[in-house]
Amino acid sequence: MNYRQKKSRVLISLLLCISVIPMFFNPSWNLSVYSFGPWKSSFCSCLKCIRDGDPRFREQIDASPEPFLPRKHSISENDFLWWKKIKQEKYDFAFFNATVDKVFEMLPIISEDVEPRPDRCRICAIVGNSGNLNGSRYGPLIDLHDFVIRMNYGPTRGFEVDVGTKTTHRVMYPETASLLDHTTHLVFFPFKMEDFLWLIENVGSDLNKQSLANKNLVMILNPAFMKHVHQVWLQKKGAYPSTGFMTLAFSLMICDEVSVFGFGADSDGNWGHYFEKIKVQNFGTGYHPGKYEYNLIQQLQKIQKITLYKGH
């Protein structure tokens, strides 16, 4: 071996060392063929990020419409026509746009960043209202999450041991509204035109009325996103997705890790609430495709995109 050959061997070995050794010290390195290699930085700084791994899953998430209505960016007429059917809305697209403009004039509607960041590890708990939370003792675990997203009435007082005390976001719509404290984000789900007017009156109004939520912390679920979840995730099953499933879907976009609590039936097969006594046995899930949604949630658990806590 001459001097030049020796020199190039040393160079190649050096390059190999530089590229292979860091693989063993990279906490986000996993064996997925898609994320293999020291040149791949993880999508977030958690041990496991939702967007890591199978690129088809990532592409599906990235192809989704914005989960929250962006300022001055309304939806397409097609999306509106789908949304309009939920409650047989009589108003037209022009009225919808004018109403949404008014909401944005009255309220500083905010959004949540859907772009992951390599230096961020945002771990979220989404807490559904299933009776399987009773006796679960999940409270302290739920409170450890960065975001704790609750839904509708789902109370904490009196149920702290099982559901925790922290609420960073509450998903609600007029029929399920309650008074929120000053630090909780209102994630507003509009199902009909009146709901936007309700939002202006109950949160955006300066009249002598107590605001139901901090007007600086309001986010509105995008009707185009609702349609996407119904058509792509749920393959058009049921009339439209449940509040819980839409919450799970937007959480996959804004969080780096998601833990799911309070979904599905309890151990007797009832689809009741943790805060209500079951008077009549209830095995149905209404006009939402509850069982289909629950199967999908189980599949997401299987491919390790979420952690599902099944309760009691």
**Residue ranges binding ligand C5P (CB under 6 A):** 128-131, 151-152, 242-245, 263-265, 271-273
Minimum CB distance to ligand C5P smaller for 128 or for 164: 128
Catalytic (active-site) positions? 240, 288
Closest contact distance (angstroms) between CB of 260 and ligand C5P is 9
Closest contact distance (angstroms) between CB of 274 and ligand C5P is 8
Closest contact distance (angstroms) between CB of 188 and ligand C5P is 15
Minimum CB distance to ligand C5P smaller for 32 or for 295: 295
Closest contact distance (angstroms) between CB of 294 and ligand C5P is 7
What residues contact residue 231 under an 8 Å CB cut-off, 6+ apart? Answer: none
Minimum CB distance to ligand C5P smaller for 100 or for 177: 177
Minimum CB distance to ligand C5P smaller for 42 or for 134: 134
